[in-house]
A and B are shown apart, each in its own frame.
Chain A
Amino acid sequence: MHTKAENVRLKEKRKWIFELYIAGQSPRSLQAIANLKRICEKNLKKNYDLHVIDVSENPSLARIKQIIALPTIIRVNPEPARKVVGDLSEIDKARLILEI
Chain B
Amino acid sequence: MDKSKNGTLVLSKAPTGVKGFDEITGGGLPSGRPTLIFGGPGCGKTLFSLQFIAHGALHEGENGVVISFEESPEELMINAGSIGLDLQTLIDQKKIAVDFIKFDPHELNEAGTYNLEGLFLRLEAVIAEVNAKRVAIDTLESLFTIFSRRDIIRAEISRLFRWLKERNLTTIVTGEVGPNTSSNSTRYGLEEYISDCVIYLDNRVENQITTRRLRIVKYRGSSHGTNEYPFLISDLGINVLPVTSIGLDYEVSKERISTGIPDLDEMLGGKGVFRGSTILISGTAGTGKSTIGAYFVNAACERKEKALFISFEESPYQIMRNMTSIGLNLKKFVDKGLLKIVAFRPTMFGLEMHLINIMHLIQQENPSVVVLDPINSFLTDVREHDVKLMLMRLTDFIKSKNITGMMLSLTGGGEHTERTNVAISSIVDTWIILRDIEQSGERNRGLYILKSRGHKHSNQIREFKLSDRGLKLIEVYRGLAGVLTGSARIAQEAKEELEQLEYKQEIERLLNKLENRRRTLENQIEIIKANFDAETKEIELQIEQLKHRQSVLEERKKMIGKMRS
Contacts and interface: CB of A to CB of B under 8 A. Distances in A.
Interface of A: 21, 23, 28, 31-32, 35, 55-56, 59-60, 62-63, 66-72, 82-91, 93-94, 97
Interface string B109-120: 111111111110
A98 B300 CA distance: 77
Contacts of A82: 109
B107 interface: yes
B116 A83 contact: no
A60 B112 contact: no
15 contacts: A23-B117, A28-B113, A35-B112, A62-B121, A69-B115, A70-B114, A72-B114, A72-B118, A85-B109, A87-B112, A87-B113, A89-B113, A93-B110, A93-B111, A94-B112
Contact of A63 (B103, B110, B115, B122): B122
B111 A21 contact: no
Nearest to B109: A97
Given A66-B102, A69-B147, A83-B107, A56 B112 contact: no
A69 B111 contact: no
A83 B109 contact: yes
B111 A62 contact: no
B358 interface: no
Contacts of A32: 112
B121 A85 contact: no
For the complex of A and B, the 8 pairs showing the least CB-CB separation, nearest first, are: A86-B112, A89-B112, A94-B111, A68-B119, A87-B112, A59-B125, A59-B121, A68-B118
B99 A63 contact: yes
Nearest to A95: B111
Nearest to A67: B118
B508 interface: no
Contacts of A91: 111
B101 interface: yes
Contacts of B121: 23, 55-56, 59, 62
Interface string B85-119: 00000000000000101110001111111111111
B124 interface: yes
Given A86-B110, A87-B114, 11 more contacts: A28-B115, A35-B112, A62-B121, A63-B125, A68-B103, A68-B116, A68-B146, A69-B115, A70-B117, A82-B109, A89-B111
Interface in B129-152: 146-147
Q: Which of B101, B111, B117 has the most CB of A within 10 A?
A: B111
B112 A90 contact: yes
B106 to A, nearest CB: 10
Nearest to A21: B118
B163 to A, nearest CB: 14
Number of chain B interface residues as a range: 20 to 34
A59 B107 contact: no
Contact of B114 (A55, A56, A62, A71): A71
A72 B113 CA distance: 11
B66 to A, nearest CB: 14
Nearest to A31: B112
A86 B148 CA distance: 12
B187 to A, nearest CB: 20
A91 B112 CA distance: 8
B125 A60 contact: yes
Contacts of A85: 108-111, 114, 147
Interface in B379-422: none
A6 to B, nearest CB: 19
A94 B118 CA distance: 20
Contacts of A62: 118, 121-122, 125
Contacts of A97: 109, 111
Contacts of A83: 107-109
Contacts of B147: 69, 85
Nearest to A73: B111
Contacts of B116: 68-70
Contacts of A87: 111-114
A83 to B, nearest CB: 6
A14 B294 CA distance: 85
Contacts of B117: 23, 55-56, 69-70
B111 A88 contact: yes
Given A66-B102, A68-B101, A72-B118, A59 B113 contact: no
Interface in B323-365: none
Contacts of B115: 28, 69-70
B115 to A, nearest CB: 6
Nearest to B102: A66
A3 B101 CA distance: 33
A23 B118 contact: yes
A35 B108 CA distance: 19
B112 A88 contact: yes
B103 A66 contact: yes
Given A66-B102, A66-B103, A68-B116, A59 B122 contact: yes
Contacts of A63: 99, 122, 125-126
A67 B107 CA distance: 12
Contacts of B99: 63
Contacts of A31: 112
A67 B117 CA distance: 9
A90 B109 CA distance: 12
Q: Which of B102, B108, B118 has the most CB of A within 10 A?
A: B118
